[in-house]
Structures are given as C-alpha cells and as structure tokens.
Amino acid sequence: MASLAQQFTGLRCPPLSSSRFSVKPKQTQKVGAFASPIVSAVAVSNAQTKDRLELKKMFEDAYERCRTAPMEGVAFTVEDFQNALEKYDFDSELGTKVKGTVFCTDGNGALVDITAKSSAYLPVQEASIHKIKHVEEVGIVPGLREEFMIIGENEADDSLILSLRSIQYELAWERCRQLQAEDVVVKGKVVGANKGGVVALVEGLRGFVPFSQISSKATAEELLDKELPLKFVEVDEEQSRLVFSNRKAMADSQAQLGIGSVVLGTVQSLKPYGAFIDIGGINGLLHVSQISHDRVSDIATVLQPGDTLKVMILSHDRERGRVSLSTKKLEPTPGDMIRNPTLVFEKAEEMAQTFRQRIAQAEAMARADMLRFQPESGLTLSSDGILGPLASDLPAEGLDLSDVPEAEEV
C-alpha cells in the first residue's frame, strides 16, 4: 500500500467538471460548511463568559465598597436625604395646615398641589368664611399659593379635602377677642332675627344681640339689613357664643358728643320743623331755625334724605336721648348753607373752633361774675376781663352790698 501511494505522489489530474466523479469536491465543501458554525459558537461562548466574569467582578467590587466605605464618592448625604423627606413629606392628619398652590378651578371648587402623592381638593363651600358661588369671587385662581387646612379625605381616590374657611374662622375669633379686649365699637349688619333678638354679622361671624341690648324701639323687621354700632359682651369660641350690645355702643358714642364738636351725619327724614340726622347710630334733630342764618321756607330745597353733611352738636340730653344739631353755626357768612353748602363743610372745623372759643370765653366770664363777690375764692376779674388773683384794691372782707338798690320789674 505504501509503494502504491508513493507511485501516485506528484501526479496531477485536471478536474473533470463533466464527469460524475466530480462529486467528491462537493463533499469537501460540505465538510467545510459544517466546520464554520462550530468555530463561531465557540467564539460567542467565550465572549459571554468574559462578560459574565467582568460583571461578576464589578458586583463584587461594588459590594466590597458598600461594606467597607458606603459613602465614598457619594455627593448626596444622609442629611440631604432627610431634608428632602421633610420638604416633600407632611402630616396628613385632620386639622393639619399645609402650603399649596392652586392649579385648576371649576364650578365646584379648586384643585390644589400640596406635593402629596395625589392632588387635594378645595370645595367652594370651604373657600371662604362668606357665602360664595364660585371660588374666583374670593381671588382663588390658578397660581395662588396659600395655606390650607386638611379637613377630610376622599375615599374614592385617597385625595385630601382642604379648607380656607376653617383658617379664616380661627382668625375671626382671634380678632373678636382682640376687639373685646380693646373695648371698641364695631359695626354689625343685621342678617336675621328670632323672638329674643337679632343676629348680626361681625368679622364674618354671626353674633346675637338681645332686644334688651338694643337702644332703639325698632322692630326686628325694621332692623333687618341695617348696620348697628355694637360692643362685645361675650366671646366664647369653644361654646360658639358671640353676644353684642347696642346700648353699650350707643352710650360710648354719646359720651363722645361734646358741645361744639363736629360730626358727620346722614339725613334720615325730613319734617316741617326740621331734619333728623343719623350721627353714628344716634338720631339728632337739625331744627329748621338751625340750618342757616337766612330763613329756610322749605327744607327740601336745602336737604334731601340720604344726603351726607357735617353738623355741630348744640346740646345733648343723655337722659332723654335727644341731640340738637346745627349747620347755622358753621356758616362762614350768613346764608352759605343755602348758597354754598360745600364751603360750609370745608370750613366746618374752623368755624366750630371759633364757636367753642366763644363758648369757653362766655363760661369764663360767667364764672368770673360768680367769683366777683366771693373774695374767699382768692380770684377776681380784672378790668380787662381776665380772671386772676384777688386784686389788692378790693377789701379782704368783701364788698358792702347794703346800698345796692333792689331790682325793679320792667
């Protein structure tokens, strides 16, 4: 066999493409085709193994760093994480106050972003202490940032229900306590009534005014929708009790009505003999003879109901509750109230000051006359009309009045 192989060594036969024996080269090609996929599979397997080894090494290194130096190379510290939690997390218990931004409104209320897992809702009835139909009426529009109170939760979508009304109620009660401590007079609008008194609205809160604490004899129907001067009698937030007195307010106002003072009033009604003027809840009479120095034949030509004017206090009977007013004393020149009432009101304080000075001087003269014959007081009136110490030219024992003639009837 070996010699036979050696004999064929070096021989070359040209390919016979047309011969049926040319099948052998095709078999050689089939062997080559099977060899190529096997080599590729081995290469891919080696690459995947290398990647897995690198990934394993990466995880092992990361684990070792976390175990030995967990914060190495980390810019976001534990304190930063805690601050982030405090910034975006909040207590959602009822009564908690949270900051929020309105981002959408509708006919029933407004959606508010309070940085929670879901948006919160502000119903229109919780948008204000006053009754409103739309949240826009009280300035609640997209972009508004405000403090709200959590008052409930919507079970359907776990969203929170907010309120501005509750916060405003707290502020209103605090304001009422402050006003009571200051003992000031406030204005209250009558919005209702019952058999014991009327209900007045003050600082957005409804309070009670007993009929026994109302100075006028007006009925509840007549007082409805009118404003009354009031003083606080009781402010109890826990019991939701708010009680007022109109009588105390009127007494306080009347105490400030000094003779000669100028007050602003409103014409309530006209009568043939004069006009009734409302001066801060007190009705005063401006008699026809005190309107102007010139004769006024028809009051309606000078005044009309609803007119606002300045008047001066002429007298005040506190027991009978009567106040006499005048514009006549405020006229710079006689007849100005008829011809130029604007000038009268502009000069009112100046003319009233002049009137008070004359009154003060007249009272001083009257007191001096009483002291003229009372040397024990140590005062007398000089020839210039100045009240001063007893003059040396008068006897210390007083004057002899025995020669003074008796007064004669005229």
Tell me the per-residue pLDDT of 338-368, one tens digit each, with 9 for 90 and over: 999 999 999 888 888 888 888 788 877 877 7
Measure the CA–CA gap between 51 and 31, rounded to whole angstroms.
Answer: 32
Counting as low any pLDDT under 70, the low residues of the chain are 1-45, 70-78, 81-91, 117, 253-256, 280-281, 318-321, 370-410
pTM over 0.75: no
What's the CA dihedral at 62, 67, 73, 74 to 10 degrees? Answer: 100
DSSP single-letter state for residue 304? -
Q: Residue 26 half-sphere exposure, CB side, CA atoms within 13 Å? A: 6
Amino acid at 217: K
Place of tokens 């070996």: 2
In degrees rounded to 5, what are phi and psi of residue 103? -125, -5
pLDDT value at residue 265: 84
Domain boundaries defined on the chain? 96-168, 183-252, 257-355
pLDDT value at residue 65: 79
Measure the CA–CA gap between 27 and 15, rounded to whole angstroms.
Answer: 15
pLDDT value at residue 264: 84
Fold of the 96-168 domain: OB fold (Dihydrolipoamide Acetyltransferase, E2P) (2.40.50)
Q: State how beta strands 283-287 and 322-326 pair.
A: parallel
Fold of the 257-355 domain: OB fold (Dihydrolipoamide Acetyltransferase, E2P) (2.40.50)
pLDDT value at residue 142: 94
Same CATH topology for 183-252 and 257-355? yes
pLDDT value at residue 203: 92
Considering the domain 183-252 in this protein, what is its CATH number? 2.40.50.140
Measure the CA–CA gap between 272 and 301, rounded to whole angstroms.
Answer: 12
